[in-house]
């Protein structure tokens, strides 16, 4: 049986997160971006999912203005489809609801059909488009929203 845990992201996780990020995304987050997101509990939900001690996924979300803003979710490609993203997103949304947030919002690349399908399955709906949102490619972002509490 595997040892599975979800825990707070910490400074010691950053090198492993950077390696995972390069596996997950064509335009990976930088070390500074990860370090900036290790925030005090209550202001954000920066979580890592470990299996047998190895980080297999993460979520970063901010809480503010009555909403959870999902900034990024990454899961190791070989571990996708096993419920890791579900567990991380559910935990971040529950923490946000516990902080009084009534909705969740996020941006997803127009071309990321797998992520769009995941978010639709989790109850998100499209509420808008941010044209040219991703500066490195000029790709549009779809803005998705989900009611989570209130």
List pLDDT tens digits, range 27-46.
899 999 998 888 766 688 89
CATH assignment of the domain containing 29: 3.40.630.30
Instruction: Give a yes or no: residue 86 inside a domain.
Output: yes
Is 60 among the domain residues?
Answer: yes
pLDDT above 50 (res 47): yes
Q: What is the layout of strands, in order, in the sheet containing 54-64?
A: 4-8, 44-51, 54-64, 67-75, 103-109, 139-147, 125-134
pTM of the model: 0.92
- Per the domain annotation, does 84 fall within a domain? yes
Question: What's the structural domain count of the chain?
Answer: 1
H or E element that contains 43: none
Q: Is residue 141 part of a domain?
A: no
Q: Which of 4-18, 30-44, 94-108 has the weakest average pLDDT?
A: 30-44
Q: Which residue has the tokens 């929203």?
A: 145
């Amino acid at each position: 049986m595997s040892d599975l845990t979800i825990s707070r992201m910490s400074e010691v996780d950053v090198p492993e997160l950077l390696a995972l990020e390069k596996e997950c995304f064509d335009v990976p987050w930088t070390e500074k971006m990860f370090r900036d997101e290790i925030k005090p509990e209550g202001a954000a939900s920066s979580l890592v999912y470990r299996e047998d001690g190895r980080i297999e996924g993460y979520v970063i979300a901010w809480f503010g203005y009555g909403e959870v803003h999902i900034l990024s979710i990454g899961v190791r490609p070989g571990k996708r489809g096993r419920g890791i993203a579900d567990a991380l997103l559910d935990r971040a949304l529950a923490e946000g609801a516990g902080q009084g947030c009534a909705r969740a919002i996020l941006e997803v690349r127009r071309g990321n059909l797998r992520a769009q399908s995941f978010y639709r399955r989790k109850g998100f709906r499209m509420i808008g488009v941010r044209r040219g949102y991703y500066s490195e490619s000029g790709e549009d972002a779809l803005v998705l929203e989900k009611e989570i509490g209130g």
